[in-house]
Chain A
Amino acid sequence: MNRRVRLLMVLAGGAGLAALLVAACLDMPGFGGDRHPYGDRAVHESLARRTANTIASVNFDQRAFDTLGEMTILFGAVLGTVVLLRQTRDERRAAPRPEDVAPPVRRYALAVLPVAVLTGLYVIAHGQLSPGGGFQGGVVAATALHLLYLGADYRALERIRPVGLYEVGDALAASAYLVLGLAGVLAGTAFLANTLLPYGTFNTLTSGGTVPLLNAAIGMEVACAVVVLLARFLDQAVEIEEESGT
């Protein structure tokens, strides 16, 4: 099909779908409406289990099974990337040459790196209290490590990043989430039931029963997964070259 026909098809399809969706929008309850039955129940249950951040309660307690699926998507995508970006037979590695970095940039990168990692850990640890949690903090911490590549040198990054270890960490964190879920079954309640631990005092780091534990498992999983993911991409972009003649 040539480009013109395709464009016409897209415009026709888009126009039809737009008409349908706009009609649907006009039937929606008005923006900012007051009716949120599920949301109100979720807030109620979250407070009953002394979890200050309701979103964390939904994610790690009420709908923890969704989060299990989501974590697995991340796990599967990273495993898939590792498989897809493997070094094939017709490729070789070339050592990257060191990079010149202007001194202020280098100093900034090295100074901010620990701050960013700490912020990531802080965001993970306070997940059940204030905005944030395992996902956000994990991504921040993992991104922070790559300041070494951005501000210093690829080889400096490679020294502090044994990818194999992070892969194992990724898998172990995922297993930890599952094991915490299975503990509920073994205790005779239900999968991922938050009934094993005391709910603690409202608005403290240990409140919410298993919520902080699941949150921590997710934080570790996400951080490790992002590191492995970026490692594969960096490998491809920086190190792996095709053999000449292919």
Chain B
Amino acid sequence: MDDPAVVVALLLVAAAATTAVAVRDPVRQALVLAVLGLALAVLFTVLQAPDVALSQLAVGSALTPLLLLLSVRKVRRRQKQETKGEPE
């Protein structure tokens, strides 16, 4: 356990994970989750798991944020529609 790279990567992941929970707005959380995915990929690389790092990059950097933001958009669009549709 004398590898500073591992320590740094672990602390990055811990910080990003804590932030991802603390940030309550889903859009901002999606941004933090993208960075968390990246930090995890870095951690996996220093733990000598390039295969896992690669799949984390593939999933975490574009796919998960896209899914989250599309859900947010759908939810917001629907709420907007609702407020518009209500008689004032």
Contacts and interface: CB of A to CB of B under 8 A. Distances in A.
Any A–B CB pair closer than 8 Å: yes
Contact of A241 (B59, B66, B67, B81): B81
A136 B66 contact: no
Interface in B14-71: 50-51, 53-55, 57-59, 62-63, 66-67, 70-71
Contact of B51 (A132, A230, A237, A241): A132
A216 to B, nearest CB: 17
Given A131-B51, A143-B63, A233 B81 contact: no
Contact of A139 (B51, B58, B70, B77): B58
Interface in A190-246: 226, 229-230, 233-234, 236-237, 241-242, 244-245
Given A140-B58, A229-B67, 11 more contacts: A31-B1, A131-B51, A131-B54, A132-B51, A133-B51, A139-B63, A143-B63, A226-B63, A230-B63, A233-B70, A236-B70
A123 B58 CA distance: 11
A136 B58 contact: yes
Interface residues of B, number: 21
Contacts of A62: none
Interface string A23-53: 0000000111000000000000000000001
Contacts of A237: 70-71, 73-74, 77
A7 to B, nearest CB: 14
Contacts of A241: 77, 81
Nearest to A241: B81
Nearest to B2: A32
Interface of A: 30-32, 53, 55-56, 123, 131-133, 135-136, 139-140, 143, 146, 226, 229-230, 233-234, 236-237, 241-242, 244-245
Contacts, number: 55
Contacts of B1: 30-32
B71 A233 contact: yes
B4 interface: no
B42 to A, nearest CB: 14
Contacts of B50: 131
A236 B74 contact: yes
B62 A143 contact: yes
Nearest to A130: B50
A13 to B, nearest CB: 16
14 contacts: A30-B1, A56-B51, A132-B51, A136-B54, A136-B55, A139-B63, A226-B63, A230-B63, A230-B66, A236-B70, A237-B77, A241-B81, A242-B78, A244-B85
Choose among A53, A132, A233 the residue with the greatest number of B CB atoms under 10 Å from its CB. A233
A200 B63 CA distance: 36
